[in-house]
Every structure is written in structure tokens, then in C-alpha cells.
């Protein structure tokens, strides 16, 4: 094993020769059964360039990057890496050629340490026995290079923050001098602070000559970090160009194909009487007590950084986390200690931020997932009527525009946006009056987002109350009537949405000062 130092020296920023592309793909076509995932796609990636790959869910982005990484092979078309033909047989082969991939879901072994994760699959050894000393130096240098020397090598991954885990993944990808780095939604679970630090890392890598393919639904972020873009729609390349010359509207239009007049469709609603009052509520997982009122026909946004205590607040209200002191009043009635089942009976519903882990039973059908919290209408002498249930769920599939063939289809086989609609349909189906929505639009496509915004607004018009947790300020500003900002477990400020701006939300979330 060579003991080269990572990245430093070898690659230079003085000649980002965008003349010779790092990767060229020509007329790439890929079919899955009858569906055509990619149709004659051309794609070029310059050396030392951050290239955004945009498109709705199902547009073919992940198929394209899987072909680049070697996870799948195209039916047709050719690829050149640094001018040489490139046909990776599997991801390992791709990695050896200098193409590394960072997936949306964190791909780390939680029990192993930072060092062990970074070196996984490429351990330095002598006759099978690990040689750690040289390795540690190399790992340390890589973390220093990424400006994260504070990450200790011997800490198990499960003790690290999500942001730090991302850095570990990037270290793993670049420690062997990656030429091309593919990042799939790297910021979807990061706070704004961690995102900014990640962008610094990305720019540094770019200046060192690494080419980066950046996939994200956060268009503002994409504009901030990418030099150029390619938009895919229905498996076709519908536009590439220089990011500096494209407006946000241009990008959205390319992605959806039709003009979305307004991402935030608002249905008029009126604030009514108080539905939910919290007085000095403090849960075991919450850092500070909280008092808050939520009214009928009100959409109350909870802004803040990840870890600011918003999820814990929702979980305490819903009875998922234990309550320490304080009280919860629902329609004027005190209801202090409660379990999720009794909260559901009181007309409350919670949409979990962790769609795959907690929000949905992925292997079960749309029908099961929608009706799970409210079987009563279909129960007769303890038996469930499949027929009635299926009919009712078909109605929800229709009205929420869920792309599912039938109510019996497994949720697993739906796209992220459609999965999230199923989760929302459950709350609608159980006729919850108080909806606790935790990051309901995380990692889903623009179209689905827009539809979910419209539904939230429509619910308020029906006289329901919505608590809307999001780390994405534009949607809070576009959807909510009132926005409260959390900082380190404390509610620091609450005002009508029109009194807030993106900048002011950011300032309050990061400093705790109103």
C-alpha cells in the first residue's frame, strides 16, 4: 500500500482546465422492464466543476449516477473518464477509477469508529493483520484537510452528530484521491450551519481539481454551490448550462415542464378559538419548558436548526416522549399525561420526520398504512371489511394524487413524495383536528411539495390546526400564518409570518436573538 498524502500537492487549482472534461457521457439509454429510465442522455462534467443534477423524483437522476458509479450498466451509450473509455463493472471498480459516491441516507457502520469507517474496505494490512499507525496519519490528514480536525478517530460513529457523519463519509470518499465525487442530497439531514460548512468543503475540493456532481432538491443551495447544471425530466436531458445565468424560475420550469404559477397555493382561512394550549410543558427529552397556543384555522411554523428541540416538542405533545411537568390543554380540557393512542382519540395526529424508520410501515400496503390509526369505520364484530377499506383508501389516493396502482400496493415501491402523501393521508383519514407535521416535505420533489402545501392550507380552511416543523425557511414563510423560532431547546420568538423574512429567521435560529 502506498503511503501517499491525500490530495495535497498532487492536484492544483491553478489550471482548472474546463476544456478537457473529466467525464463525458454520450447517448446513455437504460430500460427497466418496459419503462425507459434514461433516453439518449448526454452529460458532460468539467474538471474542477460543481455540476448540479436536477429533476423531480423519478426523472432519472439516480439511474444516471448509478451508471456513473458502476452500480448499474447502461443498455446503450458510452462513457469517457479523463478521455479514456470508462466501463465500471461494479461500484468498487468505479471507485478504483476515481469515482466515489455519497448517498442521501448515511452509509456508515454505527458501531465502528471514525477511522474504521473511513478505511472500511481498504484497510492497510500485512498478512491480514491491520497496520494502523500509517493509516491513522492518513485519516487525520484527510480530516484536517476538510477543516474538521475536531473529529476524533476513535469515537464510534453513533456518538457523532449528523453533520460530523457527513464529513466522515466525505473523508471516506476522498481519502483515495477521488477524481469525481457524486453527492446525492447531502444536506437533506443537515442544519444550515452544517450545510454552510459542507459547502466550504465542496469548494475546497473543487479548487483542488475534484469534479463534483451535486444532486439536491434545495434549489437555493444548488444555486449557491454549483457552477453548472443539468436538468433531467422523464429520463431526458432537458437543459444544461451555466448556473450563474439561470434563475430559480428557469430551473423550476425545466424540472416540472409546466409552469407552476405559485409553489405555495394558499386557501384562505380564518383563525378561530384555541385548540391546543401548552403551559410550561417540559418533556424528558426537552431542554426548556414551553408555553404555546395553537388555534383553529392556524398554521404555526416551528423554525430552527436541527437539534433545536422542535421534534422533541412534537413528540412530547403527542405522548411519544415522557412528560416531566406542565400541562397540555385540548379544546379547553386539561389532558396532561397521555399516550399516542389517547392523543389520536383526542383528534391529534403526528407525521414523523423519519418516514422510513417510524412514519410508515414500508413493506405494508398503502391501504394498511393509511388506515392504521383509524380502523373503527371498517370494524364489525372485530373483523375488518377489506372492501370498504379499499374503497375508502382509493378515494384518498385520488384526492391526494398519490401515484399508486391500487390500495394494495406496498408503500416501499412508491417514490419519496408519494410515500409522504400516504403518511399525510393517514392523518386526514383519521380526521385529526390537530396536525403535528415534522419535516413533511423533506427529500421529496417540487410537485409533491406544492401539493402538500396546498393540502396544509386547505386543512386550515377546514378549521384544523397545524404545527409545521421545517428547517427550510422559504416553505415556512410561504405556508404558515405564524412562525415560532426555536434555539437550543427554547422558543425565542413568535410572530406573524409576514413579520419574518428568510434572513430574520436565519438570524434568530442561529443566534437565539429576536
Partner 1 sequence: MKKKTKLQSLINLLAPFLGLILVIAIFSSIPDVQSRFLRLANLKSVATQSVIVALGALGMTVIIISGGIDLSPASNIALSSVITAFAINAGISPLISLILGIAAGGFIGFINGGLITELRLVPFIITLGMMGIARGVAKWIAGNQKIDAPLTWVNELMAKSPRPAWLWLAPGVWLMIVLAVAMAIFLRYTVFGRHVFAIGSNEATARLCGVRTKRAKIIIYTLAGLFCGLSGVMEFSRLTVGDPTVAVGLELDIIAAVVIGGGSLSGGEGSILGSMIGVFIMSFLRNGCTMMGWPNYIQEIIIGIIIVAAVSLDQIRHRRAA
Interface ranges with partner 1 (CB under 8 A):
91-92, 95, 103, 107-112, 116-117, 120-123, 125, 128-130, 158-159, 172
How does DSSP assign 191-235, residue by residue?
Answer: -HHHHHHHHHHHHHHHHTT-EEEEE-S-HHHHHHH-SEEEEEETT
First-to-last alpha carbon distance for the chain, in angstroms, is 55
Q: How far apart are CA 301 and CA 491, in angstroms?
A: 12
Question: C-beta of 401: minimal distance to partner 1 in Å?
Answer: 32
Question: C-beta of 483: minimal distance to partner 1 in Å?
Answer: 33
Q: Which residues of 49-65 are buried (b: 16+ CB within 10 A; e: fewer)?
A: bbbbbbbbbbbbbbbbb
Number of separate helices (H) and strands (E) present in the chain: 16, 24
DSSP 38: E
Question: C-beta of 219: minimal distance to partner 1 in Å?
Answer: 28
Nearer to partner 1, 125 or 379 (CB): 125
Nearer to partner 1, 103 or 199 (CB): 103
**Residue positions counted in the chain:** 514
Nearer to partner 1, 64 or 160 (CB): 160
Nearer to partner 1, 85 or 128 (CB): 128
Nearer to partner 1, 33 or 121 (CB): 121
Question: C-beta of 339: minimal distance to partner 1 in Å?
Answer: 21
Question: C-beta of 102: minimal distance to partner 1 in Å?
Answer: 10
3-state secondary structure 124-193: CEECCEECHHHHHHHHHHHHHHCCCCCCCCCCEHHHCCHHHHHHHHHHHHHCCCCCEEEEECCCCCCCHH
Nearer to partner 1, 83 or 110 (CB): 110
Nearer to partner 1, 1 or 248 (CB): 1
Q: What are the contacts of 398-404 at 24+ separation with CB within 8 A?
A: 400/424, 400/425, 400/428, 400/451, 400/455, 401/451, 402/366, 404/366
Nearer to partner 1, 92 or 386 (CB): 92
Identify the three-state secondary structure at position 327: strand
Question: C-beta of 154: minimal distance to partner 1 in Å?
Answer: 12
Check if the beta carbon of residue 17 is closer than 8 Å to that of residue 47. Answer: yes
Nearer to partner 1, 36 or 106 (CB): 106
Q: How far apart are CA 461 and CA 340, in angstroms?
A: 26
Dihedral over Cα of 395, 398, 403, 405: its sign: positive
Question: C-beta of 151: minimal distance to partner 1 in Å?
Answer: 18
Question: C-beta of 120: minimal distance to partner 1 in Å?
Answer: 4
Question: C-beta of 288: minimal distance to partner 1 in Å?
Answer: 22
Cβ–Cβ contacts within 10 Å for residue 499, how many? 11
Amino acid at each position: 500500500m502506498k503511503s501517499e498524502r491525500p490530495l495535497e500537492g498532487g492536484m492544483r487549482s491553478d489550471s482548472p482546465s474546463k476544456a478537457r472534461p473529466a467525464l463525458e457521457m454520450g447517448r446513455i439509454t437504460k430500460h427497466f422492464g418496459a419503462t425507459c429510465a434514461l433516453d439518449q442522455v448526454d452529460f458532460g462534467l468539467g474538471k474542477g466543476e460543481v455540476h448540479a443534477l436536477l429533476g423531480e423524483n423519478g426523472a432519472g437522476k439516480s439511474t444516471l449516477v448509478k451508471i456513473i458509479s458502476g452500480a448499474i450498466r447502461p443498455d446503450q451509450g458510452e462513457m469517457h473518464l479523463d478521455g479514456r473509455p470508462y466501463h465500471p463493472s461494479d461500484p468498487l471498480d468505479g471507485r478504483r477509477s476515481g469515482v466515489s459516491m455519497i448517498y442521501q441516507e448515511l452509509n456508515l457502520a454505527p458501531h465502528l469508529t471514525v477511522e474504521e469507517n473511513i478505511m472500511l474496505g481498504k484497510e492497510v494490512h500485512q498478512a491480514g493483520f491491520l497496520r494502523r499507525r500509517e493509516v491513522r496519519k492518513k485519516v487525520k490528514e484527510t480530516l484536517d484537510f476538510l477543516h474538521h480536525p475536531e473529529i476524533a478517530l476513535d469515537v464510534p460513529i453513533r456518538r457523532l452528530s449528523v453533520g460530523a457523519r457527513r464529513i466522515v463519509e466525505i473523508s471516506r470518499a476522498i481519502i483515495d484521491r477521488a477524481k469525481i465525487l457524486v453527492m446525492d442530497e447531502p444536506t437533506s439531514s443537515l442544519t444550515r450551519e452544517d450545510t454552510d460548512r459542507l459547502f466550504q468543503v465542496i469548494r475546497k475540493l473543487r479548487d483542488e481539481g475534484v469534479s463534483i456532481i451535486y444532486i439536491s432538491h434545495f434549489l437555493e443551495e444548488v444555486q449557491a454551490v454549483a457552477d453548472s447544471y443539468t436538468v433531467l425530466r422523464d429520463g431526458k436531458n432537458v437543459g444544461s448550462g451555466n448556473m450563474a445565468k439561470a434563475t430559480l424560475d428557469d430551473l423550476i420550469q425545466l424540472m416540472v415542464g409546466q409552469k407552476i404559477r405559485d409553489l405555495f397555493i394558499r386557501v384562505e382561512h380564518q383563525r378561530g378559538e384555541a385548540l391546543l394550549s401548552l403551559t410550561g410543558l417540559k418533556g424528558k427529552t426537552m431542554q426548556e419548558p414551553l408555553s404555546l397556543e395553537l388555534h383553529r384555522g392556524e398554521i404555526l411554523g416551528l423554525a430552527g436548526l436541527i437539534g433545536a428541540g422542535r421534534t422533541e416538542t412534537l413528540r412530547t405533545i403527542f405522548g411519544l416522549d415522557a412528560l416531566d411537568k406542565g400541562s397540555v390543554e385540548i379544546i379547553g380540557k386539561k389532558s396532561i399525561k397521555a399516550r399516542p393512542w389517547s392523543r389520536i382519540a383526542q383528534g391529534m395526529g403526528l407525521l414523523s420526520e423519519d418516514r422510513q424508520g417510524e412514519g410508515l410501515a414500508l413493506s405494508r400496503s398503502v391501504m394498511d398504512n393509511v388506515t392504521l390509526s383509524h380502523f373503527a369505520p371498517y370494524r364489525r364484530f372485530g373483523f375488518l371489511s377489506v372492501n370498504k377499506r379499499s374503497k375508502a383508501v382509493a378515494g384518498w389516493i385520488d384526492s391526494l394524487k398519490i401515484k399508486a396502482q391500487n390500495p394494495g400496493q406496498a408503500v416501499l415501491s412508491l417514490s419519496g413524495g408519494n410515500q409522504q402523501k400516504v403518511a399525510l393521508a393517514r392523518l386526514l383519514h383519521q380526521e385529526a383536528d390537530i396536525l403535528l407535521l415534522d419535516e413533511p416535505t423533506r427529500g421529496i420533489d417540487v410537485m409533491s411539495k406544492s401539493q402538500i402545501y396546498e393540502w396544509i392550507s386547505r386543512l386550515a380552511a377546514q378549521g384544523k390546526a397545524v404545527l409545521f416543523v421545517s428547517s427550510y425557511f422559504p416553505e415556512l414563510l410561504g405556508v404558515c400564518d405564524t412562525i415560532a423560532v426555536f434555539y437550543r431547546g427554547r422558543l425565542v420568538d413568535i410572530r406573524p409570518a409576514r413579520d419574518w423574512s428568510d434572513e430574520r429567521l436565519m438570524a434568530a435560529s442561529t443566534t437565539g436573538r429576536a
